[in-house]
Structure 1
Amino acid sequence: MKHPPRSGNRLPDFRRAERLPWARAMLDHLDDPAVLHWDYAEGDGDIHTYVWLQALDYLIVMKKYHDGRRRLIMAFWLEYENKRRKLAQKHAQRLL
């Protein structure tokens, strides 16, 4: 049985893309107190590294592997207060 092709075209979100260069700058300046970063054990057992520039509501999420390498999962601007609250909770429950 042949699988149907993927439906729909993914269109670029230019407003989101404007902020993408922030990711590299944030990762290069993890020692800056304005950049919160922590590891968190997700419900499925994966460890995710969160990097949050609170002042500008920008978040980077990476998957952390057992050998210490990380892979970018997503980077985006936080639009909603409930997402900020959930991140603050994850920060409070971070791995030490």
Structure 2
Amino acid sequence: MSDFPEWLPELMYLSDYDGDWIRYLDAIYACFRQDFIDSKPVFQGRKLGLKRYPLSHGKEATFWHMISEGKNEADRLPDFRRCERIRWPKPVIEHENDTSIKVWRNQRGREERICLWLVPENYLVILADRGEYILPWTAYLVEQPHQQRKLQKEYEEYQRQKREKS
């Protein structure tokens, strides 16, 4: 892993909670709650909302998307690499102009998404643009080289199209 940007919080490990999943889950949820519920973050001047439903174990859907993986909502499994980085999404969003972050927009189905890729850490935050507000959607490590190449290509294409419009 590279040197962390100074603004990037330390990781939170399950081992810091003696392997106690319930205590760990409570701790990472408290961080998520502080960053996205108790505070009122903004992105490019627009407030960030949350995808609250479906609630699971009293926790919002966005939280589960940031700490777990799987296509079926009911069967998502915790991803400890995501859990460890639960304190990263908000700072990445807040530091979108940092040179270590590549930002671009893309289409996923009928929805416009905003990608924030913290390249040195291969960490991707996805936001959903809902017009008047932005939803944090998910965040995860991009570990596979083919996925990294795909993101780089997507970013370059976005930049090319942006230049052509100017």
Identity %: 25
2:127: which partner in 1?
62
Aligned length: 88
**Structure 2: distance between partners of 1:32 and 1:24:** 14
Q: Which ranges of 4 or more aligned residues in structure 1 deviate by more than 3 Å?
A: 8-11
CA distance in 2, matches of 1:79, 1:14: 14
Residues 21-32 of structure 1 aligned to structure 2 (within 5 Å): 21-32=87-98
Shift of 1:11: 4.4
Structure with the largest fraction of helix: 2
Q: Mark the runs of 5 or more structure 1 residues left unpaired by the alignment.
A: 1-5
Q: Per-residue deviation at 1:35? A: 1.1
1:17 to 70, 76, 83: 83
Whether 2:134 is the aligned partner of 1:50: answer no
TM-score, normalised with respect to structure 1: 0.77
Q: What 5-or-longer segments of structure 2 have no aligned partner?
A: 1-71
1:76 is aligned to 140
Query: Structure 1 or 2: larger strand share?
Result: 1
C-alpha separation in 2, matches of 1:13 and 1:86: 22
